Amino acid sequence: MITIATCWDGRDFYPVKYVNILLSMVKRNLQIPFEFVILAGPEAENRRGELSPEISIVPTGLPYWWGKLWMYKADLQGFSDIILYLDLDIVITGDLGVIAEIKSDFTGFRDYPAALCPAGFEYDLNTSVVLMRRGARPEVWNEYVAAGMPTWEPFSKQRGRLPLAEMSIINSREKPVKHDLIPEKWVKSYKLHKMAETGLPADCRIAVFHGRPKPHEVSDSWVKENWR
């Protein structure tokens, strides 16, 4: 049993269908038993009736994606020993088993494709996809609390401390958080790997739609086939 976690605050920056579609994609592409949990913001509980009954809600009180930081708490309750975190704006395109079975207590999506990576950023982690052992990196939550638990609105130009949310903590140049990286062949960036032009590589299990476009905004046949 593992926990599949995502983050949704109950508002429509990501419509509720994104949550239900993510669950549907996981069910088609993961053969081991799992529970599906939302790290939920203030409005999510009010929309319980719009969610699949298989989804559990863990209130965090944090808006937008900030609830993701909750999973780094040392005393996290109600989660399996292994957590696979998935952002809502992804498309699952293949078996997740190879990712779920990675032997690492904290590993995630490579922030830059190797071919495009600026010098010094080769080890940066993007938290769109994270596999971790429960309680493995409490320093991420502790640093967030020490920073005053800041939040900012999507697309805000006034981001203040932690401009990249938990990624600012994990990829800190002064005090980086120890992590591994998921093999690039398994998790791709739709935008940076130019998948609109190249199509879906055979080994790709997850396509990440960070930034724009989002899955509902593209007409690629492989996206329409898998994002449902």
DSSP state of 6: E
Q: Which CATH number fits domain 2-183: 3.30.1360, 2.30.110, 1.10.3470, 3.90.550?
A: 3.90.550
Written as six digits, the tokens of 171 are 């990829």
pLDDT in tens, 156-200: 887 878 888 999 999 999 999 999 999 999 999 999 999 999 999
- Domain positions in the chain are 2-183
Looking at residue 162, its pLDDT comes to 85
Looking at residue 127, its pLDDT comes to 97
How many whole angstroms separate alpha carbon 117 and alpha carbon 218? 25
Looking at residue 86, its pLDDT comes to 98
Which amino acid belongs to residue 82? I
Does residue 141 carry a pLDDT above 90?
Answer: yes
DSSP state of 34: E
How many whole angstroms separate alpha carbon 82 and alpha carbon 62? 23
Average confidence score pLDDT of the chain:
95
Looking at residue 124, its pLDDT comes to 97
Looking at residue 161, its pLDDT comes to 80
* 99 vs 211 pLDDT, higher one: 99
